[in-house]
């Protein structure tokens, strides 16, 4: 019988709640386990009242720092946050002094692993900026939605937060991904954790890097190492 993981994962969630619960499902699925005790112990702070990461970055940084310190005090040994945009305000999390699984870095590496040099990104403006910087630093070209596709993507992300995940929304998100592939994307990043709630790998004619799933696998590795 293998030894169960002993380190505890602290998750800073709630940005948004549906994406956080989706991440937890993916974390459970990614964990090699034959019984309950083989799974990762998780401490969750699902806080939907973190200040707006774009409009109030200093307040968001401070609140994320407080969340990280609370999770550390409760026994977390590794921290993760299933929100791409909030990684721009993650300095407060890192200040807690625990290993922090960087969703942006992990997802960028996943998108480039099979040799794609042009990558499409479906994300909020804040997430776009983070991925553009990471991908450009790796020598890749970034494609973003253009024209009417930009407000359409924003509306779909807002819709997920309001519980709108039906066939019409899924078809619209798949169309946005198809537009990026048609323009030359060799891989597509679901760079907002609401996007995978509408888009799965079979919906895209190029490899899809689901940032929530990538983070889940990276957390499993971090806990087991």
Exposure class string for 57-77: b at 16+ Cβ within 10 A, else e: beebbbbbbebbbbbbeeebb
Are 124 and 157 contacting, i.e. CB atoms less than 8 angstroms apart?
Answer: yes
Q: What DSSP character marks residue 74?
A: T
Q: Mean pLDDT over residues 186-211, rounded?
A: 98
Q: Architecture of domain 9-102+213-224 in CATH?
A: 3-Layer(aba) Sandwich (3.40)
The residues assigned a catalytic role are 83, 192
Q: Which residue intervals of the chain bear CATH 3.40.50.1860?
A: 9-102+213-224, 104-212
Asked if pLDDT for residue 2 goes beyond 70, the answer is no
Q: Where are the alpha helices (DSSP H) in 95-148?
A: 103-112, 125-137
Asked if pLDDT for residue 1 goes beyond 60, the answer is no
Cα(76)–Cα(11) distance, integer angstroms: 9
Instruction: Give tens-digit pLDDT for 48-106.
Output: 999 999 899 999 999 999 999 999 999 999 999 999 999 999 999 999 999 999 999 99
Fold of 104-212: Rossmann fold (3.40.50)
Axis-axis angle for helices 149-161, 17-30 (nearest 10): 80
Question: For the whole model, what pTM was predicted?
Answer: 0.95
The alpha carbon dihedral of 109, 102, 222, 121 has a sign of: negative
């Amino acid at each position: 019988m293998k030894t169960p993981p002993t380190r505890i994962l602290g998750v800073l969630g709630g940005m948004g709640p549906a994406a956080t619960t989706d991440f937890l499902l993916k974390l459970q699925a990614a964990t090699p386990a034959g019984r309950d005790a083989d799974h990762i112990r998780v401490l969750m702070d699902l806080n939907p009242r973190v200040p707006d990461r774009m409009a109030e970055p200093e307040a968001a940084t401070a609140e994320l720092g407080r969340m990280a310190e609370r999770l550390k005090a409760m026994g977390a040994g590794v921290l993760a946050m299933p929100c791409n945009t909030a990684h721009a305000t993650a300095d407060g999390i890192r200040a807690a002094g625990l290993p922090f699984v960087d969703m942006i870095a992990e997802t960028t590496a996943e998108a480039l692993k099979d040799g794609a040099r042009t990558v499409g990104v479906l994300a909020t403006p804040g997430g776009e900026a983070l991925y553009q910087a990471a991908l450009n630093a790796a020598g890749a070209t970034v494609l973003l939605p253009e024209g009417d596709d930009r407000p359409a993507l924003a509306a779909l992300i807002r819709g997920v937060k309001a519980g709108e995940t039906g066939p019409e929304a899924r078809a619209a998100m798949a169309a946005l991904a198809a537009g990026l592939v048609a323009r030359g994307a060799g891989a597509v990043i679901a760079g907002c954790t609401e996007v995978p709630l509408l888009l799965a790998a079979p919906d895209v004619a190029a490899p899809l890097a689901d940032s929530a799933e990538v983070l889940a696998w990276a957390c499993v590795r971090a806990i087991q190492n």
